[in-house]
Structure 1
Amino acid sequence: MTTQPDRLFAQPHSELQDFAFNEDVVRVFPDMIKRSVPGYPTIVENIGVLAAQFAQPNSVLYDLGSSLGAVTQALRRHVRTEGCRVIAVDNSHAMVERCREYLHAQDSMFQELLPVDVQEGDILALDFAPASLVALNFTLQFIEPEQRLPLLTRIRQALLPGGALILSEKLRFADEQQHALLTDLHIAFKRANGYSELEIAQKRSALENVMKPDSLEQHRERLLAAGFSQVVPWFQCLNFASLVALP
């Protein structure tokens, strides 16, 4: 279960492929996400803290787009509500296999953890059980824009009264100057974490066709259209943010 430093884009690529969560990415993902997403460890740990406030007895907690299970692990560390279980879903076989390894290791370190079911599948086709907490942690931005509202509507319909959706996303900004400033500051963050100009440029190109961020206002409007009554930003660091949406 060792991880490697992220050097995927350190050498020039004659032809860049679209970014994919494959075996190569899985090997370096913990290093990649920590060095690329400002505030990521804070977001993940506090999703567990927030979830403990919303979790209801005998309900499901969903981690959608679970990757290596960081959010699932945080849920299991913090939620002690009787009868809860976690369902973690990801469409990457490589991610799911490594996630199961990490969770097995967590089982050996902690006692009385919530049961978890790690599923390989498409969250757009998921048959939701009644849930008190759903986490979409940097997942929605990889879903085609026209499919986002239907997914959020189905999540809203599955949420129990008093439950919550936690949505974390990279943001774009309608104001061009604000967008340029925060983009530049994000690049500075990646430079400070050891990425070269070549790595930054090549990864940006690889992500261009697969990751399509929305503005905070777009997220708010879509969540309200999906049937949520309140949308509350609880964290932002540069152009990355996390929201709580209430039924």
Structure 2
Amino acid sequence: MIDKVFEKSITKQFEFDEEVASVFDDMLNRSVPYYKEMQRLTINFALNFLENNDKVYDLGCSTASTLIELAKHCDKELQLIGIDNSNAMLNRAKNKAKAFGVAIEFIEGDIHDIALEDAKLIISNYTLQFIRPLHREKLVQKIYDSLESGGVFIFSEKVISSNKTLNKQSIDEYYKFKKTQGYSEFEIAQKREALENVLIPYSEEENRQMIEDAGFSHCETLFKWVNFATFIAIK
């Protein structure tokens, strides 16, 4: 379905409800620059680390697109686990996984409360930015502790610049991108307002520092387009 969520005036902050879930795949592709390329890189780099029976978690798996694509491109038997707190998202994820014949265990709940155990790979695409800063570092520490030695954490985030001028220019560039995707000025403004104080991005440097503080031996940016970035961290 086509994303038309913000064609009408908003009445609440952004949430991953049934309305958003029904158009989420289209929303991602039109709202996140080079989303498919970021997903492709996530999968290609992940494949270098995975062996038979490795456990893979996707935190905030939404409609399970990344886990499904990973399964399609991997010749190993993997334990795939998708976690999300949105029932509407998981309902669509289950239907998609069934349609593609991919075995995924889905868990509905708060990722702070769900045990992550013996993971070789943990994925988090545009999820940390929705976690309050007070709890974000704790979650990254939990991710580190849950990974096997040599395990990897691959995550994508919207980022900000510490330079005010460049940050403003980045926002303007992203605005132009959304216009090219068919979103109206009204829709763009409505979504920005709905996300206010819900999506709280870090800078690229802050994300790396958070990863280093958790104990990861290495963190690198795999891909960046203006204010969107994909990182890989190795335990």
TM range (shorter): over 0.9
Q: Deviations over 1:74-95 (max 9, x none)?
A: 221222234x211100000000
Q: Hey, what does 1:73 align to over in structure 2?
A: 68
Report deviation, 1:43. 1.1
Equivalent of residue 125 in structure 2, options 121, 137, 147: 137
| Count of matched residue pairs | 235
Identity of paired residues, percent?
Answer: 37
**1:8-66 alpha-carbon deviations (Å, 9 max, x no partner):** 1113x2x5310000000011111111111001111112222111111133321011100
Instruction: Say whether the 8 Å CA contact 2:41–2:222 is kept in structure 1.
Output: no
Q: Runs of 4 or more off by more than 3 Å in structure 1? A: none
Q: Which runs of 5+ in 2 are unaligned?
A: none
Q: Which residue of 1 aligns with 2:193?
A: 205
2:83 maps to 1:86: no
Whether the 8 Å CA contact 1:60–1:86 is kept in 2: the answer is yes
CA RMSD in angstroms, aligned pairs only: 1.2
Any idea what the Cα deviations from partners look like across 1:66-116, whole Å, max 9, x if unmatched?
A: 00011111221222234x211100000000011000000111xxxxx5x32
Tell me the equivalent position of 1:64: 59
Using the size of structure 2 for normalisation, the TM-score is 0.97
Within the alignment, does 1:241 sit opposite 2:195 as a pair? no
Deviations 1:200-244 (A, max 9, x none): 001000001211000001001110011111110000112100000
**TM-score when normalising by structure 1:** 0.92
C-alpha contact 1:164 1:244 (8 A) present in aligned 2: yes
Aligned to 1:110: none
Q: Distance in 2 between matches of 1:43 and 1:36?
A: 13
Unaligned runs of 5+ in 1: 108-112
- Map residues 1-247 of structure 1 onto 2, 5 A cutoff: 4-11=1-8, 13=9, 16-82=11-77, 84-107=78-101, 115-247=103-235
Alignment check: 8 A CA contact 1:55 1:61 kept: no
Q: Is the 8 A contact 1:48 1:76 kept in 2?
A: no
